[in-house]
Chains A and B, each alone.
Chain A
Amino acid sequence: GENVEQHPSTLSVQEGDSAVIKCTYSDSASNYFPWYKQELGKGPQLIIDIRSNVGEKKDQRIAVTLNKTAKHFSLHITETQPEDSAVYFCAASLMEYGNKLVFGAGTILRVKS
């Protein structure tokens, strides 16, 4: 089955700096790669996703890149703000197979003001 590894486990950045979180996946059949943000006491919330037919996607300060050959994908947050502090999870799935997401272990992002 699919296995997703995520690095780093914690990341501290100064407000205004960029943050990068990386994930690798094992199943080359996976075709959907979302990123979720989880704040304390809340459920995960989708912030951006990418499908395997696209190499990069951007939404304001957030971007995701996908390298299918190397089986890794990354989340980039620019101009970080204190409200970006949260736990971020990457995930992978095969959408045709119930879209059952396999999550990474998470990255705690702290933005220092």
Chain B
Amino acid sequence: DTGVSQDPRHKITKRGQNVTFRCDPISEHNRLYWYRQTLGQGPEFLTYFQNEAQLEKSRLLSDRFSAERPKGSFSTLEIQRTEQGDSAMYLCASSLAGTPLLNTGELFFGEGSRLTVL
């Protein structure tokens, strides 16, 4: 297993355009998380899935943001009508949750997708 992979690694777009990021988690992991990280800050939680169900969305996630995990495997994060304030690193993480014995708590992060909105 190669870990969590994200695509694209870098995206430059003009304000008002739509962008989509993809995350492929570690194959046996049932939980998938999206975080956003701006320069000099820690990652901020956006949303998470358990299998295909989106269980929580942060108030940070405006209506322009939508995330899906249709088959409980890969996930996409779409940002519509991008704004300059959306410029950030979008991090995906996955984990295995189940019985307390299986749930080590560790989130495995990908290397992120850096978005620059001009």
Rounded to whole Å, the gap between the CB of A7 and the closest CB of chain B is: 13
Point out the residue from B44, B97, B109 that lies within 8 Å of A43, measured CB to CB: B109
Closest chain A CB from B106 CB (angstroms): 5
A54 at the interface (CB under 8 A from B): no
**Contact status B43-A49, CB under 8 Å:** no
Choose one: B43, B44, B48, B109; the contact of A98 (CB below 8 Å).
Answer: B48
Binds B, one of A14-22, A55-63, A67-75, A101-109: A101-109
Interface size for B (C-beta < 8 A) is 26
Chain B interfacial positions (CB closer than 8 Å to A): 4, 31, 33, 40-45, 48, 50, 55-56, 91, 93, 95, 97, 103, 105-112
**What's the nearest-Cβ distance from chain A to residue B93, in Å?**
8
Q: How large is the interface on A (under 10, 10 to 19, 20 to 34, 35 or more residues)?
A: 20 to 34
Q: Give residues of chain A (24-68) contacting chain B, Cβ–Cβ below 8 Å.
A: 32, 34, 36, 41-46, 49, 51
- Asked whether A12 is an interface residue with its Cβ less than 8 Å from the other chain, the reply is no
Q: How far is the CB of A42 from chain B (nearest CB, A)?
A: 5
